[in-house]
Amino acid sequence: MAGVSLQCGDCGALLRSVQEAQEHADLTSHSNFSESTEAVLNLVCSTCGKPCRSKTESDLHTKRTGHSEFVDKTSETAKPISLEVPKVDAMSNEDATATTDQPDEMVVPEVDKKVLEELESMGFPTARATRALHYSGNAGLEAAVNWVVEHENDPDIDQMPLVPANTKVEAPKPSLTPEQLKAKQQELRERARKKKEEEEKRMEREREKERIRIGKELLEAKRIEEENERKRLLALRKAEKEEERRAREKIRLKLEEDKAERRRRLGLPPEEPSAPKPSNVVEEKKSSLPVRPATKAEQMRECLRSLKQNHKDDDARVKRAFQTLLTYVGNVAKSPDEEKFRRIRLSNQTFQERVGALKGGIDFLEICGFEKVEGGEFLFLARDKVDKAVLNSAGSELDSAIKNPFFGVL
């Protein structure tokens, strides 16, 4: 079967004639061509009549215009290819011989100035627009834009094309009508706008993913920090309980030693560990005795012990509360006639921080004789209810609670 096309061995492109092969070689520097029985594809758009020479070109046309119906006229246009090199006249041969003796001067090719201005107004650089017009054969705005789209990843896309100075330039093909040009410009601007919006949306999605990732990392770091803090507090409480247990054991051993020392001084034999303790007898005797009401001092001691137990995790605050209560009681005991020492505003911030906010602080003052007056706004100790004995007992209990390190432990 006779060949109907020439195929470039470097890129695989199919060409209709020797002249097209020469133009292809000039543009790409490819030189390996062979005769092929595969015809150059000729797909004609049913909507606008644009011919497409490859499936890729028809796909790009569909993507840009939305036209999807094509008529295959390959068989109609296919014809045996002539391998004869086009003849040139003698003058051309002489010119060619003359030019081979000296290097040709390279210049920027002539392109359609009007279309070039239109491309520049659409935002294309001058070099890119000139390159697109030159390599698309000055076929018009659409062909130039199509060439840019197909070759936008070329490394030399923004280099100004150069051709020999004596190269014959074909007359530019007619451009689009003003209405078509306006519609094409609007279409290209709309396409550029949509592409920019899509890029912005993609970047926003990437930024949102990054924000979510950073948020998750921060939450995980916070969770780990809280978990470590919880473990630290548990270890601290465990150490405090162990220290409390050792303190109780130490006190118990000390009591047993004191008891053994007293028995030794009295000349009594050491207590047998296995000897039964008359605890039941004592309990029976106690149960037969009338219950004695707790004294003021015992009530104060129990109140202070309860205050320390309720706030055992903050020893410094408990000690400050004891010292504040001692100051209140001491001022009244020293100057019972001074009403300012016998009246305490419950809403006072200092009082609340030191005493009022601690469970048991106000109860202790009420045991000392203070009463809530004026709708619970003040604690007041009337002059005729000042009992120095009670105040002295309160001072003794507070002093013991402050100085005794084991107060409230047992």
DSSP characters over 292-361: PPPPHHHHHHHHHHHHHHHTTT-HHHHHHHHHHHHHHHHHHHH-TT-HHHHEEETT-HHHIIIIITSTTH
Give DSSP secondary structure letters for 51-104. Answer: EESSHHHHHHHHHHH----EEE-HHHH--PPP-PPPP--HHHHHHHHHHHHSPP
β-bridge pairing 70-72 and 43-45: antiparallel
Q: Is the dihedral of CA 217, 219, 221, 224 positive or negative?
A: negative
Return the number of other C-beta atoms located less than 10 Å from residue 292's C-beta: 7
The dihedral over CA atoms of 11, 12, 18, 19, expressed in degrees to the nearest 10, equals -50
pLDDT value of position 310: 86
For residue 272, give the amino acid letter. E
CATH number (2.40.33.20, 1.10.150.120, 1.20.120.1200, 1.20.58.2190) of 296-403 reads 1.20.58.2190
Q: Where are the beta strands (DSSP E) in 161-302?
A: 163-164
Question: CB of 132 within 8 A of CB of 119?
Answer: yes
16: left (phi over 0), alpha (psi -120 to 50) or beta: alpha
pLDDT value of position 196: 87
pLDDT value of position 172: 47
Q: Is the dihedral of CA 39, 141, 194, 125 positive or negative?
A: positive
Residues 166 and 259: their CA atoms lie apart, in Å, by 128
Element containing residue 372 per DSSP (H, E) = strand 371-373
pLDDT value of position 287: 47
Instruction: Report angle CA 140, 129, 29 to the nearest 5 degrees.
Output: 95
Give how far Cα 258 sits from Cα of 57, 250, 295, 375, Å.
Answer: 108, 12, 28, 53
pLDDT value of position 22: 81
Residues 374 and 381: their CA atoms lie apart, in Å, by 13
Give DSSP secondary structure letters for 25-64. Answer: HHHH----EEEESSPPP-EEETTT--EESSHHHHHHHHHH
Q: How far apart are the two ends of the chain, measured CA to CA in Å?
A: 114
Residues 273 and 251: their CA atoms lie apart, in Å, by 18
β-bridge pairing 43-45 and 5-8: unpaired
The arrangement of strands across the sheet holding 51-52 comes to 51-52, 43-45, 70-72
pLDDT value of position 88: 45
Q: Is the dihedral of CA 226, 229, 235, 236 positive or negative?
A: negative
Mean pLDDT, contiguous 10-residue spans, the chain (410 residues): 72 78 78 78 82 81 83 78 54 48 71 86 87 85 85 83 68 58 76 87 92 92 92 91 91 89 80 57 49 75 87 86 92 90 90 88 90 89 88 89 75
For residue 168, give the amino acid letter. K
- In three-state secondary structure terms, 171 is coil
Residues 116 and 122: their CA atoms lie apart, in Å, by 10
Give the residue among 379, 371, 394 at the shortest CA–CA distance from 340: 379
Structure tokens at 352: 């609340």
Q: Is the dihedral of CA 387, 389, 392, 397 positive or negative?
A: negative
List residues bridging with 164 in a β-sheet.
106
